[in-house]
């Protein structure tokens, strides 16, 4: 089951700053991790006759939550997230495309800013049907899900494990990227003290689904110079 499940997990890339959305469809239901608007994903869901969607969030930054209103409009949708994602104070900052626009501005990609603001013209506050504080286990379509709070990159950052093998790390682990701890409400101390030791405990046979960049296996990653590296990419990035 695990192997076929991995083959059926679809990845869709947010075109503005290359954030990953993952979808698994089974029995007219879909599991969606870190949603954004995607015509390609919509086609996949309709081809699989999906009616109900369960959304899980690795964290609360705009590029990982922006699709929630769209999914609620088009599908019977339930959102599950760590409770800090609903904090009104942080949502005022992260629930809008401004941060993504600033990243694009730094890169000189001004046309993309216009496209982003046209597609996402308003704030996108998170609403959720279910939240957890430290951890939560969930059964979905015969699969086992484990969600675990790992604040550092953001207050609501979490690790999501599917069938104890497929690990969705959000921005806490991005291959060949320095951890980003510069955003408002990032906590560098917590990241080094709690998050890194937990990430290093992930078994080598697990498949890593990061918030950015490509899917890999834990066995392919080495932890050196305060980042998880594959050794085959010279250019380091910061998200």
The CATH number that applies at residue 75 is: 3.60.15.10
Instruction: State how beta strands 237-238 and 135-140 pair.
Output: unpaired
Instruction: Give the lowest-confidence range in 117-121, 125-129, 155-159.
Output: 117-121
Q: What's the domain range around 7?
A: 2-238
Q: In this model, does residue 189 exceed pLDDT 60?
A: yes
pLDDT at 123: 74
Sorted by sequence, the CB contacts under 8 Å of residue 234 that are 6+ apart come out as none
Instruction: Check: CB of residue 22 under 8 Å from CB of residue 13.
Output: no
Q: Is 108 helix (H, G, I), strand (E, B) or coil?
A: coil
pLDDT-based confidence at residue 235 (cuts at 50, 70, 90): very low
pLDDT at 6: 67
pLDDT at 2: 37
Mean of pLDDT over the chain: 92
pLDDT at 232: 58
Mean pLDDT across the stretch 61-65?
Answer: 95
pLDDT-based confidence at residue 238 (cuts at 50, 70, 90): very low
pLDDT at 237: 41
pLDDT at 193: 97
Give alpha helix (H) positions in the chain.
2-8, 39-47, 62-65, 68-74, 88-94, 98-106, 110-119, 188-190, 196-199
Mean pLDDT across the stretch 70-88?
Answer: 97
- Per the structure, how many domains does the chain have? 1
pLDDT-based confidence at residue 236 (cuts at 50, 70, 90): very low
Q: In this model, does residue 204 exceed pLDDT 90?
A: yes
pLDDT-based confidence at residue 233 (cuts at 50, 70, 90): very low
pLDDT at 92: 87
């Amino acid at each position: 089951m695990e192997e076929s499940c991995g083959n059926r997990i679809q990845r869709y890339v947010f075109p503005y700053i290359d954030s990953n959305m993952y979808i698994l469809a089974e029995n007219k239901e879909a599991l969606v991790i870190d949603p954004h608007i995607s015509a390609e994903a919509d086609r996949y869901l309709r081809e699989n006759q999906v009616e109900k969607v369960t959304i899980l969030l690795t964290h609360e930054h705009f590029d990982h939550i922006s699709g929630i209103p769209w999914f609620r409009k088009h599908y019977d949708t339930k959102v599950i997230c760590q409770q800090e994602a609903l904090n009104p104070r942080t949502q005022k900052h992260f629930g809008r495309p401004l941060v993504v626009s600033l990243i694009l501005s730094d890169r000189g990609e001004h046309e993309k800013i216009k496209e982003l603001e046209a597609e996402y013209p308003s704030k996108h506050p998170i609403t959720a049907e279910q939240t957890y504080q430290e951890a939560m286990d969930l059964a979905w379509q015969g699969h086992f899900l484990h969600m675990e709070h790992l604040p550092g990159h953001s207050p609501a950052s979490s690790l999501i494990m599917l069938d104890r093998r497929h690990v969705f790390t959000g921005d806490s682990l991005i291959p060949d990227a320095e951890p980003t701890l510069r955003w408002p409400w990032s906590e560098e101390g917590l990241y080094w003290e709690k998050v890194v030791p937990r990430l290093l405990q992930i078994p080598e046979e697990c498949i890593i689904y990061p918030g950015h960049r490509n899917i890999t296996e834990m066995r392919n990653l080495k932890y050196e110079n305060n980042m998880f590296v594959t050794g085959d990419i010279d250019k380091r990035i910061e998200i």
